[in-house]
Amino acid sequence: MAAKVRRKQLPRFGRVDSFPRTRGPLMLQASFSNYHRFAPSRLRMKIDVLAVAAHPDDVELCCAGTLMMEKDHGKKIGVVDLTRGELGTRGSAELRDREATVAANIMQLDVRENLGMPDGFFKNDEQHQRQLIRAIRKYRPEIVLASSLADRHPDHGRAGHLISDACFLSGLQKIETVDIDGMLQLQWRPRYVFHYIQDRYFQPSFVYDVTRVFDRKLEAIRAYSSQFFSREYDRDEPQTYISTPEFLNSIIGRHQMFGKMIGVAYAEGFISEKMIGVQNFDSFVQLDT
């Protein structure tokens, strides 16, 4: 109950109207005796690509371009932020909420939800896994974009493991969870979890060409004027590791470096814990490198 009270639900950005693609008839997923306990309206919240992050702004920095490209390809996209970033040196949780809303509109997210976990102190334990499992079962993504498994900020690595574990456990039928109305949720396991690369460099398993949407990605990052360099943000607050112009330049350089690997201007990098299988070569970037 405490978790329910703490949860902060940000405004939704449009409706998710498509009926869910399930992995077979619903009757095969739910036992007949308790089928009536699944609310049909709750089955309509289907997101194809869901990015999960420790803090509002992580997604913008690391995988916003991929989300926007998928949206351009007709997919439903969403973000679940684990915390409100309330321990950030600059700004406040309320200001961060507003910045996240602006960024969500720039990215044209179909949904953005904040789970209200404690910044700096959430754990990869049963309580937090169950909280995230509820969100995964609510949105039923095919692909989850997750925090790095290790990084400068310890929240990022911990989030990476929490997200991986919750995605797996979410597929186990005997772990029962209920939605906000107390209705039983169906189990759901995303097909792939891809970890985006954050501050510390890791060799990606693959990179995604985001050249076409890179300007909008920068716009989404700059929506966090309390966190990153901005001439408009003139409060008397200390500089941080991420608030200097050099930090933003390093972000652009990282994307150029990933882009160069495949012969494009800008790309985002991802690590897959499991083998990626392909069924055709059509989506490969066909440039000389």
Would you tell me which residues interact with Zn ion (CB under 5 A)? 55, 58
Return the structure tokens found at 71.
């949206």
Burial level of 108, CB count in 10 A (0-12/13-18/19+)?
A: middle
Least distance from Zn ion to the Cβ atom of residue 12, Å:
23
Q: Report the DSSP beta bridge partners of residue 83.
A: 117
* Non-local CB neighbours of 227 within 8 Å, separated by 6+ positions: 57, 88, 90, 91, 96, 99, 240, 242, 243
Q: How far is the CB of 222 from Zn ion (least distance, A)?
A: 16
Residue nearest to Zn ion (CB): 55
Residue 54 Cβ vs Zn ion, minimum distance, rounded to whole Å? 5
Question: Smaller CB distance to Zn ion: residue 60 or 209?
Answer: 60
In the sheet with 111-117, reading across from the earlier edge strand, the strands are 111-117, 77-83, 49-53, 143-146, 192-196, 267-272, 206-209
Of 55 and 76, which has the nearer Cβ to Zn ion?
Answer: 55
| Closest approach of Zn ion to the CB of residue 159, in Å | 8
Closest CA to 29 of 184, 177, 187: 187
Shortest distance in whole angstroms from residue 55 CB to Zn ion: 4
CA dist 273 → 192, 253, 270, 277, 289 (Å): 9, 25, 10, 12, 26
What's the min distance (Å) between Cβ of 153 and Zn ion? 5
Are 42 and 188 within 8 A, CB to CB?
no
Quote the least distance from Cβ 63 to Zn ion, whole Å.
12
**Structure tokens, 28:** 């095969």
CB of residue 243 to Zn ion, shortest distance in Å? 13
Q: Give Cα separations from 70 to 46, 75, 78, 95 (angstroms).
A: 15, 6, 11, 28
State both tokens at 265: 């201007």
Q: What are φ and ψ of residue 248, in 5° steps?
A: -60, -40
Between 214 and 224, CB nearer to Zn ion: 224
Residue number, 160 or 190, with CB nearest to Zn ion: 160
CB atoms within 10 A of CB 286: 9
Q: Which is nearer to Zn ion, 63 or 186 (CB)?
A: 63
262 close to 269: Cβ distance less than 8 angstroms: no
Name which of 58 and 110 has its Cβ closer to Zn ion: 58
Q: Which is nearer to Zn ion, 120 or 171 (CB)?
A: 120
Pick 157 or 188: Cβ nearer Zn ion = 157
